[in-house]
Amino acid sequence: MSRPRREVQVGDELPPLARAVDQQQIDAYAEASGDRNPIHLDPDFARTVGLPGTIAHGLLDMAILAEAVGRWAGAYERVAELSCRFSKPLLPGETVTCTGRVVAVDPAAGTATVQLEAVSSRGERVLTNGRAVVRLAG
């Protein structure tokens, strides 16, 4: 596993993380998180609110984004900040791919700022305005 050290540079790219998300994983996330909003679990309900069917939790998409950052950082504890916009829904059966690029390094603070996004296999930009601050290993 790569471990960013202080020689991390602006322009460095995170290894992309692709994950196929099916309804079983969405169900598992609902159970593990306690978020049982029916738009994630009940296709009939989801259609009544104008969705094509169930959608993944935005926080599941964000959790996969966090995993991409955590893998690069070497530990979840190094993720100091994470934010994103839930722009498009991820549908069960699609693969989400998370990418990121270092946009700033603060040697004094020992942190790097990473710009992030997540795109679905349909080409939809699922997560936009993604940003993380990572504590670099000393």
The verdict on 129 binding other proteins (CB under 8 A) reads yes
Site string for other proteins, 87-126 (x = CB under 8 A): ----------------------------------------
The closest alpha carbon to 126, from 95, 81, 80, belongs to 95
- Residue 82 is which amino acid? L
Site for other proteins (CB under 8 A): which residue of 56, 64, 119, 136?
64
Give the separation between CA 63 and CA 45, rounded to whole angstroms: 24
Q: How many residues bind other proteins (CB under 8 A)?
A: 38
The verdict on 22 binding other proteins (CB under 8 A) reads no
Could you tell me the smallest distance in angstroms from the CB atom of residue 68 to other proteins?
11
* CA 121 vs CA 21, 118, 134: distances in Å: 11, 10, 27
